[in-house]
Structure 1
Amino acid sequence: MLSKLFKAICLLFVAVFYTSFAFAQRTEISLNNDWHFSKDSSAKQSSVINLPHTWNKDDVMDDAPGYYRGPGWYHKTLTLNKSFKDKAIFLYFNGANQETDVYINGHKAGSHKGGYTRFCVEADQYLKIGVNDIAVKVDNSFNENIPPLTADFTFYGGIYRSVSLITTNKTHFALEHAANGVFVTTPDVSPSSASVKVTGEIDGSANDVQVITTVLNGTKTVAKATTSIKDGHFEHTLPAIGKPHLWSTDDPFLYSVKTQLINKTTGAILDEVVNPLGLRWFKFDGEKGFFLNGNPLKLVGTSRHQDFEGIGNAIPVNYNVHDVELIKQMGGNFLRVSHYPQDPKILETCDRLGILASVEIPIVNAITESEAFTETCKNMQVEMIRQNFNHPSVIIWAYMNEVLLRPKFSDDKPRQQQYFGHIKQLAQALDSLTRKEDPSRYTMIACHGDYNRYRQVGLVEIPQIIGWNLYNGWYGGKTEDFGKFLDSFHHDFPALPIMISEFGADADPRIRSLQPVRFDKSIEYAVDFNKVYLKAIEERPFVAAAAVWNLADFNSETRDETMPHINNKGLLTWDRKPKDTYFFYEANLIKQPFIKISNWLIRAAITDSLNQSVATQPLTVFSNAAKITLKVNGISINTQQVSDGMSTFNVAFKNGINKIEADAIINGKAYKDEAIIKFNLIPRQLQSAKQANLNINVLLGAKRFYTDKARNIWIPDQAYKPGSFGSIGGETYVMKGNGRQSYGTDRNIINTTDDPIYQTQQVRLQGYRFDVPPGKYEITLHFAELTTDKTKEALAYNLDNSTNKEASQERIFDVLINDKPLLQKFNVAAKYGSLTVGTEKTIVTVANKNGIKINFKAIKGEPILNAIQLKKISE
């Protein structure tokens, strides 16, 4: 009883305090809690949720193609007391995808098109003192007049960012386009002096009011100006700031700009907003790259998508902060906010940490040739610019990404030329609009690698900076073509600043390879790829900036590949765990001492031919030291030079736990890293094997290692060798019509999350042998029919594949183990379905030295096997 009374007293105190003081100026109250959500407007089957929220966090990861794109309804009860009377009240949405209608007490109060910019609904005329009903309809259905139309990322639905209630006096700084109404520029900045100009708009009566702006260094005033208002507009230039503390990537010093709306008669503060101020100047140069405060600075960082494993786009605010911190930790100084404006905390954190940024609207892959589409794009661009105008970290406004990637009307060339003309017209309109809105920043278009097409359409000459999304050595070509492309373009356009707006290679953290090849999704190939690219970027001064694609893995529901629905190009996993590619950039970019052992921590291999108590494999250490000394199980094995931020050692691993220590001297101080590697040592001669826990997991038709969800390590197959194990006959499966990968398929395998076990296979297989000693063994055969008549349209970024189709093959075969039938007239597709997991398990007792012999006898078509496991159960 006492606790309830105490709570009531506290609430009363808060209400009185809130009424007396909070509404003197602008207030913001979170509305994130206690919403009812349903896909039915009646909300009869609603669930109680808190914001941020998306309805797609689960269906984007299932095996069923597609995800829910349609309407969703949010309902909330909002109770207002008398202190809200005579206030201007707004519902402020930080993000809802993609079409939103807001209803207050049954009246439509506002709407918004676009899923990534913020928007504000004026609500006071519909609200009443007492209980109010708020209903919000959000619809992420395809709409040809709202970009993006298509893209290699998932269009999550819902109110996936926070919502708040903003109150002001009736006379206040305008919230038009969901900006705060005050815009700060720095017309002249130098080491000796800096000028600050402030402009803005006022809503409400401008009689008897004035604007006071104060520039603060902490609590100290360094400049101040007062001005009157004319026709709802104000502008003033503050006194010059002498010897300003400049903002830079190494020293991101921030002043603050406090702008107040004052009643001249009473002196009361009617409204107040505070903006960050970073005093810096910058320029892009076609020959010499980027300059900040007069000093050359190579911009290297990442692009970033906003979703997170298990959450989708509905991420808590602190997740945004952490992502920018991870870029800074990596040594990055640049962020391409792609392909859409993101949570306000992203640029706030860039300001604070010293990360320069490019921001863009989501015109991706294609446009609609309609006035409605054009107007939506223009409105998005204005919203993006005005909402983020005051961030010193922002240096580029962009507005198109790979818009010629898969152009429409490919079978009607005259019509296609007309389409290209509309794209150019839209680009020119957006570029002109951007330069008018903010002449202090640069404009940029990001293009894919079809240089001639962009040049012919006329897009290259429109923006102030050209961005290239280049994947030479990934989707096609070779990595050495990357540098050749840069040189060729720069030769043709020497005065045009250039940045690499995307580059990267898939790196499935579960896949490793000692023979990395294009599109095997191994960490090793991705490290090699990034090594080539970073070196080429650093060697060319005219390359002003480069953004790795991507900071973290992200959801792309339409993708298949080794991890279906995920783009694995991230330097971090979807849940933000670092890959070796992240360590590579740390070693090459950060200035602090750094040393890190590769995170390939679960391994397996066959014993060496000369020493059957160990297996030798390479181990990489990333560091910015000159030399590294490696210890294995307490014994120093070698000291090696570091090149390109890494050094690779040949390590003889023993069975079980191996303790690894890497030591380096950097600037006269000792640094080290340690790791524990668990190794499954597979005897080369199985007959002499003593392990009671012998466990062999083999991928057929593969050259890569794989760690499954149960943390078992799978090794590539080998041809059978007497005394050992391996396949007999057959050949590696290669998907017909696939020019990207040298083996296997990239199609989604149904009923598993361990797709790489089933995406490779041996075809025309005759047999498999394990020359094991006597004992009882469990044998598991893994099958998946990889041919299918089901056609899957290749995604736009796969330029060398219009479709993924290979005619289904009928296979009927017998499987015998030690001459005893296991599977008779076995048809994988008939039993399990195409592209679907099939597993057959049996127990085999070996009583002699003949081991285990598995025979595949074709009845019709070609026998196949995707993977095999042997596990010793007992002697």
Structure 2
Amino acid sequence: MTKKSILSLLIVGFLIIADQGFSQTPASLSREHLLMDFGWRFAFGHPFDPRKDFGNGTGYFSYLSKTGYGDGAAAPGFDDRTWRKVNLPHDWAVEQPVNQKASYSHGFKAIGRNFPETSVGWYRKTFRVPAGDLGRKISIAFDGVYRNAIVWVNGHYLGTNPSGYLGFEYDISSYLNYGGDNIIAVRADATMEEGWFYEGAGIYRHVWLNKTSPLHVASNGTFITTAVKSNLAEVTVMATVVNDDAVAKTFTITQTVIDANGNRVASSSPKEIVLQPIKSKEISDVIAVQNPKLWSVETPYLYKVITEIKQDKNSIDTYTTTFGIRTIRFDANEGFFLNGKHVKIKGTNNHQDHAGVGVAMPDALQDFRIKTLKAMGANAYRCSHNPPTPELLDACDRLGMLVIDENRLMGTTSTHLNDVQRLIMRDRNHPSVISWSIGNEEWNVEGSITGARIAETMQRDVKSMDSTRFVTAAISGGWGNGISTVIDVMGYNYITHGNTDDQHKKFPAQRGWGTEEGSTHASRGVYFTDRAKQQIAAYDKRPNQDFVSIEEGWKHYAERPYLAGMFIWTGFDYRGEPTPFQWPSTGSYFGMLDQCGFPKDNVYYLRSWWTNQPTLHILPHWNWEGKNGQVIAVWAYSNCDEVELFLNKKSLGKQRMPLNGHLEWSVNYAPGELEAVGFKGGKKSITDKVKTTGEAVAVDLRSNQQSINADQEDIAMITVDVKDKNGLHVPTANDEIEFSIKGPGKIIGVGNGDPTSHEAEQFLETIRTVNVDNLREKSIADMKINSATINTYPETDFEPAFQKERDKAFGTAVKALVYRGSFELPENIDQAKITFFYRSIGKAQTLYINGKQIAENIPESKKGNTFTLDKSLVKPGNNTLTIVAAPLIKQQSWDNINSNPGLIQIITPAPSWKRKLFSGLAQIIVQSTGGSGDITLTATAKGLKPKVLIIHSTTTNLRPQVEEE
């Protein structure tokens, strides 16, 4: 055998061994779903200036040209130490001021085409992957990034996701440094709007690291449907199993149903399956569940299915799916049925932002909002007009809220249909979801044959994936034509746009409901319209001839059995669309609740007719100084039979409450007490009072919960108001309240529900970075010199730095260098923290600032060095940086050596948190910072007694998280 043959055999043998080593099954293959929200870095980039976008995409080879060539902030070695530290979810738009040149529909927040400096954001995170994970399938999953997200891992370009609403996931197994650090970089570009409402900016939903065996259940790979007959439920589980290994796999799969208490209630028989390499297979089981507990709005009972894959009796993968057992049916003449019982839909439309935090809502805030809507009597929620965050649907599942899950954009190309498919794959196991909406008010096509074709194609595609739910579209015009001729459930947007009875007669087999109704305008706590102040009285009246009042709308749908119900526009106010105004209003007036979730008066009309809860509410408040003797319109909302009104104990008359209506009195104002008494069956049932108050004397704070979990995620919603000397809430107060917090908690946002407010919603420290400019160099004999000598070198002795190639010849000729550069500091640095994040430009180096030594003979550091600069070292204006260094030399001609000595970071402390009351109220959101103990929140205001509120932060089990750097 020749030497060449022996060498070839050795090489082949080595490759076989190496391949076997790579394919070895790790000891632990259990599935992990790890939260990846903490410890990110954030900085603004730029949509078109590469110098301000960290030079990304400017290399000779771009990340689109060759694998692993992510450059600038996408490069693994990029120094992000000066970037701001953030946790997710994060919305950088809510942090911006409002500006008249910004988008009307997006609440005039200073992002978008007119604001390139704040329209692109970069995120970076360092995380570790254990060496033992080699051989597993590892992916990174984003629940939502607004928008046009480009993602890299370790400099490898993963892909671009244009939509701000759909989640996306990338397999990163091949790109990882196992046993070491890994870098993820995300560039989000919010320059272009996707909707016409506030959408935020950035990684505003969760990020996850998912780990599985090569043989595993696919992501969103289960689909559970239920059929109920008497006391038996047939639970059909379809699970897609993927074999990403290089060899065929023989395995068994079992599906087990677990009840809400964690008990096993039923299971399928194990099936033995053979799956070829790089293939997937859908496996179906039907499991009988005896005496099932049905999911409903009143009793939202949830089960789980555990899908388990075993090889040689060893568990390889377990996949958990939460589901509910329930039946749904729409009838063209009788409306909607849940579990065979008629349910009138009492719904609201909602966008996904909240006061103080924008679209970056903590999970507990989703619960708060759904509970608030349920307390109003709502039983349904339309996701307007985009796929929601998964946690919103989780909250609806747990709390009992029916959902229209809505697609963002109609169309029939693969772009559009793939988005719909991703939506359905993600959300199809939520029992709360009763309908897929394929579009909203597509005016350009909704009344045409083109619209009909698009809707028909999309509806067919939806039903091919999920035939258990109904398809709808919200249509505001062209009833009787176009989309309305083919859609499963006709979505009526505003009864003034057509005649629902005519549509029903023309299409008697078509189901229908009101997907939008109302669009009324109201400023919470305001009862006289003042257009100069852009305030609208909070009485339920038609806004104009194109829309009806909430009461008129509800009566229309309540009186027609063929209509399943209606969704009010909207449940909550939201940023943007400040109809009927423009600037300076920045938020909508449509909500039954304001942006904080404080109720407007319409809430009590709905509670009267949407619930059986005894309700009586009178409006307005009774603080009308200067209006003595003037007529005030007094309304009463109630589900009592009769209501009698008293002013200062004198009866103003008793009236009978009309079905689905309200009562009115014209009252000559006199200060004192206005009382309404409700009667049921001729007996006094309930009362409501409003009183004239005195001046405010004290601040008050109330929390929705007295303790929160110490997990960096949980929140408390704090209501702020002021009281008079008798402890009465002052409904007209507009005091500015200042807040401070101590302990393991932080304030993450403030609001007051005023759609005209331009106040900051977040108060953050400001970070500014300063470059070292005009870096020059001078060669010297060695590094053994002192600062006095360095300072004597004239400028004529220096030349621009790094002009000479740092090759081996340079290393032979030059043993040491003096570098000189400068940096400018702003005038006001007294309160600032100044940090120099140094990057090595020598194998060893000594550093001076303004002639004073800050480091001596420190070795080259790949991660860099950090120096906090004492104020005695620096001054406002020009400062000098001097570095004496042994030069870095290229070992190969293609090597890149660092020529940037780093950045100076200036951090100015955040101002105090504060907010003015609007109509007597404001809101603070407090979040855990991770430790246990008491969180002390203090509220103060000029001339008022302060208030201290204590919230307990309690130790809890944390969600599994990625291993940090």
Letter in 1 for 2:633: P
Q: For residue 642 of structure 1, what is the amino acid of its counterpart?
A: M
CA distance in 2, matches of 1:673, 1:607: 22
**Which SS does the other structure have where 1:567 is aligned?**
coil
Q: Are positions 1:237 and 2:285 aligned together? A: yes
CA distance in 2: counterparts of 1:377 and 1:72, whole angstroms: 26
Q: Which amino acid aligns with 1:195?
A: E
CA distance, structure 1, for counterparts of residue 526 and residue 93 of structure 2: 28
Tell me the equivalent position of 2:64: none
In the other structure, the counterpart of 1:379 is: 418
| Equivalent residue in structure 1 for 2:93, among 24, 43, 56 | 56
The alignment covers a number of residue pairs equal to 617
Aligned residue for 2:393? 347
- Structure 1 residue 542: Cα displacement: 0.9
Give 1:594's match in structure 2, choosing from 593, 615, 632.
Answer: 615
Alignment pair present for 1:163 and 2:207: yes
Q: Residue 535 of structure 1 aligns to which amino acid in structure 2?
A: K
- Contact 2:294 2:325 survives alignment (8 Å): yes
> Do structure 1's residue 467 and structure 2's residue 491 form an aligned pair?
yes
AA partner of residue 91 (structure 2): T
Amino acid of the residue matched to residue 605 of structure 2?
Answer: F
Q: CA–CA distance in 2 between the matches of 1:119 and 1:183? A: 19
AA of the residue aligned to 1:192: N
Query: Would you say 1:183 and 2:197 are equivalent positions?
Result: no
Contact 1:65 1:558 in 2 (8 A): no
Q: Decide whether aligned partners of structure 1 residues 449 and 54 sit closer, same or farther in structure 2, where only a CA change above 3 A counts.
A: same
**Deviations 1:712-766, CA, capped at 9 Å, x for gaps:** xxxxxxxxxxxxxxxxxxxxxxxxxxxxxxxxxxxx999999xxxxxxxxxxxxx
Residues 605/296 of structure 1: CA separation in 2 closer, same or farther (3 Å cut): farther
Secondary structure in 2 matching 1:196:
strand
- After superposition, residues 400-549 of structure 1 pair within 5 angstroms as 400-404=439-443, 422-451=450-479, 455=481, 458-470=482-494, 472=496, 485-504=499-518, 505-509=520-524, 511-513=526-528, 521-526=536-541, 529-549=549-569
Displacement after TM superposition at 1:403 (Å): 0.6
Q: Tell me, which stretches of 5 or more residues in structure 2 are unaligned?
A: 1-25, 46-52, 55-72, 74-79, 104-109, 113-118, 543-547, 696-730, 737-754, 761-965
Which of 228, 243, 267 aligns to 1:224? It is 267
Deviations 1:49-77 (A, max 9, x none): 22111221144733233342343210111
Q: 1:524 deviation in Å?
A: 1.2
Structure 1 residue 169: Cα displacement:
2.4
CA distance in 2, matches of 1:672, 1:268: 65
Q: Is the 8 A contact 2:623 2:732 kept in 1?
A: yes
- Alignment partner for residue 323 of structure 1, among 343, 355, 369? 369
User: Does the Cα contact within 8 Å between 2:586 and 2:757 map onto a contact in 1?
Assistant: no
Q: Deviations over 1:790-834 (max 9, x none)?
A: xxxxxxxxxxxxxxxxxxxxxxxxxxxxxxxxxxxxxxxxxxxxx
Distance in 2 (alpha carbons) for counterparts of 1:298 and 1:402: 24
Change in Cα spacing, 1:32 to 1:494, as seen in structure 2 (3 Å) is same
SS at match of 1:556: coil
Work out the CA distance in 2 between the residues paired with 1:391 and 1:36.
34
Alignment of 1:635-714 (within 5 A): 638-643=653-658, 644=660, 646-655=662-671, 658-664=672-678, 670-678=685-693
1:47 aligned partner, one-letter code: R
1:173 matched residue in structure 2: 217
Contact (CA 8 Å) 1:654, 1:679: kept in 2 or not? Answer: no
Q: Deviations over 1:199-257 (max 9, x none)?
A: 12122356232211111233333321032335432423334223332222233222222
- 8 A contact 1:227–1:236 mirrored in 2: no
Q: Report what 2:186 is aligned to.
A: 136
2:360 matched residue in structure 1? 314
Q: CA separation in 2, counterparts of 1:228 and 1:280?
A: 30
Across the aligned residues of Structure 1 and Structure 2, the Cα RMSD in angstroms comes to 3.3
Q: Deviations over 1:412-434 (max 9, x none)?
A: xxxxx9xx565444323221110
- Corresponding residue of 2:640: 625
Q: Distance in 1 between matches of 2:274 and 2:373?
A: 44
Question: Which residue does the alignment assign to 2:302?
Answer: 254
CA 1:597–1:272 in structure 2 vs 1: closer, same or farther (change >3 Å)? farther
How far, CA to CA, are the matches of 2:375 and 2:28 in structure 1?
40
Give yes or no for contact 1:378–1:430 (8 Å, CA) kept in 2. Answer: yes
Contact 1:300 1:332 in 2 (8 A): yes
Judging changes above 3 Å, is the alpha-carbon distance between structure 1 residues 165 and 602 closer, same or farther for their aligned structure 2 residues?
A: farther
Q: Following TM superposition, by how much is the alpha carbon of 1:646 offset from its aligned partner in structure 2, in angstroms? A: 3.4
* Cα contact 2:122–2:188 (8 A) shared by 1: yes
Shift in alpha-carbon separation, 1:293–1:604, aligned structure 2, 3 A? same
Letter in 2 for 1:211: I
Structure 1 residues 276 and 444: CA distance shift in structure 2, 3 A:
same
Aligned equivalents of 2:686, 2:622: Cα separation in 1: 21
- The structure showing larger relative contact order (alpha-carbon pairs under 8 Å, at least 6 residues apart) is 2
* 8 Å Cα contact 1:284-1:291 kept in structure 2: yes
SS of residue in 1 equivalent to 2:373: helix
Question: What amino acid sits opposite 2:402 in the alignment?
Answer: L
Matched residue SS, 2:556: helix
**Superposed, which structure 2 residues align to 1:266-345 within 5 Å?**
267-345=313-391
In 2 relative to 1, CA 317–434 (structure 1 residues): closer, same or farther, beyond 3 Å? same
Contact 2:354 / 2:595 at 8 angstroms: preserved in 1? yes
Task: Give the letter for the 2:101 counterpart.
Answer: A
Structure 1 spans left out of the alignment, 5+ residues: 1-20, 408-416, 473-481, 609-614, 681-705, 712-747, 754-875
Q: What are the superposed Cα offsets for residues 765-803 of structure 1, whole Å, 9 maximum, x if unpaired?
A: xxxxxxxxxxxxxxxxxxxxxxxxxxxxxxxxxxxxxxx
TM superposition score normalised by structure 1: 0.65
Contact 1:23 1:168 in 2 (8 A): no
Paired letter, 2:142: F
**How big is each residue's C-alpha offset from its partner over 1:379-420, in whole Å with a ceiling of 9 and x where there is no partner?**
21011101011111111111111111699xxxxxxxxx9xx5
The question of 1:392 aligning with 2:438 is answered no
Matched, 1:193 2:227: no
Partner of 1:154 in structure 2?
198
Q: Please give the alpha-carbon distance, in whole angstroms, between the structure 2 residues aligned to 1:259 and 1:570.
A: 42
Evaluate the alpha carbon distance shift between residue 674 and residue 227 of structure 1 in structure 2; reply closer, same or farther with a 3 A threshold. Answer: farther
1:587 and 1:645 in contact (8 A); partners too: no
Q: What letter matches 1:193 in structure 2? A: L
The Cα shift of 1:37 comes to 1.3
Q: Could you say if the C-alpha distance between residues 520 and 503 of structure 1 is closer, same or farther in structure 2, counting changes exceeding 3 Å?
A: farther
Q: Which has the larger radius of gyration?
A: 2
Is 1:26 the equivalent of 2:47? no
1:136 to partner: Cα distance: 0.6
Report the equivalent of 2:139.
90
> How far apart are residue 24 of structure 1 and its match?
5.4
SS of the counterpart of 1:197? strand
Q: What CA distance in whole angstroms lies between the structure 2 residues aligned with 1:334 and 1:535?
A: 18
Task: Return the TM-score normalized by structure 2.
Answer: 0.59
Q: Is the 8 A contact 1:93 1:118 kept in 2?
A: yes
One-letter amino acid of the counterpart of residue 586, structure 1: R
CA contact (8 A) 1:354 1:393 kept: yes
Equivalent residues of 1:275, 1:390 under 8 A apart = yes
- Determine if contact 2:254/2:308 at 8 Å carries over to the other structure: yes
Deviation at 1:572, TM superposition (A): 0.5
The amino acid of 1:578's aligned partner reads P
Change over 3 Å in CA distance of 1:94–1:514 after alignment to 2: closer
User: CA shift at 1:605, angstroms?
Assistant: 5.5
SS at match of 2:463: helix
Q: Residues of 2 paired with 1:497 and 1:251: CA distance?
A: 26
The aligned amino acid for 2:345 is L
